[in-house]
Structure 1
Amino acid sequence: MLDWDNLRIFLTAVRAGNYTAAARRLRIDRTTVGRRLDRLERQLGVPLFEQGEDGYHPTVAGRRVLEIADRMEELADGLAEEIGGRARAPAGHVRVIIAADLGAELMPDLAAFAAAHPDIRLSIQSSADPCEDVIQRKSDIGLCLVDQQPDHLRGRRVGTLRQAPYATAAYTDREKPADPGAVAHWICCAGRPPLPAMRRWDGAIADRAAVAAYVDSWAALRGAVDQGLGAAFLWTFAADPAPGLRRIAPPDPAIGIDLWLLVRDDVPMEQATRAFLHDIADRLSRRIAPAD
């Protein structure tokens, strides 16, 4: 019969990255960690770790054990909270990486999470490739814009983000553009566009409309539109509620992209990371749901 304590040590070893760090977390010696994991491998009849270029990683069987043990831990925590009659507030440190294409649009949701979970400390960064940062262990969880779940990652699809052309009310009243092609001051992305979809739109529109400015970041794009410099494609979930902006045309389904919350598939989530994933996924799914 499997010993749950050995599974707990296995989870800690994967989270910590090596036996020595796991021993420190568990307050036991490294030899005991190795002995208990050897016993678990003998009981299961399969190796749980293999040597990689950057250290040891769970085998295919180890990942399956990891998935089951992670669920067992979550159920055990839930049982303790239910029987105890009082939920234990999650605590810890979560490193969050956000797709640079999203700019600061998700900060209200992160602030709401922080207010609801004062014992969880967030480290927030942006990246052109948050999926790769999670794979490289530079972050615990990523808010990623991808069409499908990448290999070596697991998580939750939040929903589809849409884009539509927007300008200020003052601009549309003055210029009265009937469609994106009629915009006299188009704001385009210079260098590497945040999304292939934006490159497609810029290419199509720039041939028919005068370009007023080129920008290289989401913050600059949004700022240029807000200040009346011209029109650009913005995220509908962020631009629709903005009182000073107006849509010039409906969103085009062809340029939608999915928002995912992703973690490595070979590392069990800490309690704080799990709380972040579930909470933020629920908040964002409500926020990005189309209103029309």
Structure 2
Amino acid sequence: MIDWDNLRFFLTAVRAGNYSAAAKRLRVDRTTVGRRLERLEHQAGVPLFEQGEDGYHPTAAGRRVLGVADRIEALVAELEAGLEREAKTEQAELRISVATELGSEFMPELAEFARAHPHVQLRISASSDPEEDVITRKCEVGFCLVDQIPRHLRGTRIGTLRQAGYASEAYLEERGRGLPPQDYEWVRCSNSSRVRAMKQWDDIFCRTVRVSAYVDSWPALRRSVEQDLGAAFLWTFVADGNPALHRVTPLHEELGVGLHLLVRDDVPMDQPTRAFMSVMVPRLSQRIALKLPEE
């Protein structure tokens, strides 16, 4: 049986004119070229080269082999080009778990990625434990709120998310500006909430503050403040970009939490995952780097 790889060496040797030039093009030594061509002649059962006055030339059999090899090379090149085009257009799925505390805040960046990579179909899920989702292979990438990367995971720290108390312009017009935080009504997390960071923010005040509403999700918390129900602890990178919201407490450094994009440490990233990480890391770093207003 004739080996295509030996045919490839034969084509290169004929085109290059001698073994040394062929070896250079193939990035092997001259001996390897000679050995491959000897093997091809053995497989063909006839001599493929003959010596002339100006060097070696293909025999009649060698010319027939050369013609077939040339057509095979063209077919292989056509096949590779077609497969490459299919790889670029074939739909790939990328599963993403987003910490519930983040809600849909990064949807603009996710949508931007989806538009730029139409062959990657995103499957986005909110999760109370995206780290566990990555570990158990429920997703390929997790938007995780952790200070230390858990075992079995690897990835990139985007930065630190901070929280502060905010109220709406309309609420402050009615209640008064510059009051002690305890003088405002607060939207708080319900006891049934599984959102860990929300409970942490909420616990900095005693249970005797006036409560206007209880919620158990980040979207509800943000929306309640925007609808003038009272003050609440919000992500600074979100609230500082909303001119209708104003900070009513100092920045609480102890409430910061790390934002990471994480994958399993024992699974090589495929092309969609690598593309997602390379695009999202700088975009998210830019997004959360908004400056807090001066005190």
Give TM class, smaller chain: 0.5 to 0.7
Aligned mates of 1:178, 1:193 — CA distance in 2: 32
Aligned mates of 2:273, 2:161 — CA distance in 1: 23
* 1:178 positional shift: 3.0
Q: Match for residue 276 of structure 1?
A: 276
Runs of 4+ in structure 1 deviating by more than 4 angstroms, as ranges, are 88-91
Letter of the 1:99 partner, please give it: A
Identity over aligned residues, as a percent?
50
Q: Match for residue 216 of structure 2?
A: 216
Aligned mates of 1:193, 1:230 — CA distance in 2: 22
Q: Match for residue 110 of structure 1?
A: 110
**Change in 2 beyond 3 A, CA 1:234/1:179:** farther
Structure 2 unaligned regions, length at least 5: 1-87
* 1:112 positional shift: 1.2
Counterparts in 2 of 1:1-292, with a 5 A limit?
A: 92-178=92-178, 181-190=181-190, 191-192=192-193, 194-196=195-197, 198-207=198-207, 209-292=209-292
Residues 114-145 of structure 1: CA deviation (Å, up to 9, x unaligned):
12222211111110000000100000100000
Structure 1 unaligned regions, length at least 5: 1-87
Letter of the 2:226 partner, please give it: D
**Change in 2 beyond 3 A, CA 1:204/1:177:** farther
**TM-score for both structures, normalised by structure 1:** 0.66
Q: How many residues align?
A: 204
Tell me whether 177-186 or 130-139 shows the greater mean CA deviation: 177-186
**TM-score for both structures, normalised by structure 2:** 0.65
* 1:183 positional shift: 3.8
**Change in 2 beyond 3 A, CA 1:228/1:153:** same
Instruction: Give secondary structure in 2 for the equivalent of 1:121.
Output: strand
Letter of the 1:184 partner, please give it: Y
Larger Rg over CA atoms: 2
Q: 1:96, 1:141 within 8 Å by CA — same for their partners in 2?
A: yes
**Change in 2 beyond 3 A, CA 1:90/1:289:** farther
Letter of the 1:160 partner, please give it: T
**Higher RCO structure, 1 or 2 (CA under 8 Å, sep 6+):** 1
How large is the Cα RMSD of the aligned pairs? 1.9
Letter of the 2:253 partner, please give it: P
Letter of the 2:193 partner, please give it: R
* 1:167 positional shift: 1.0
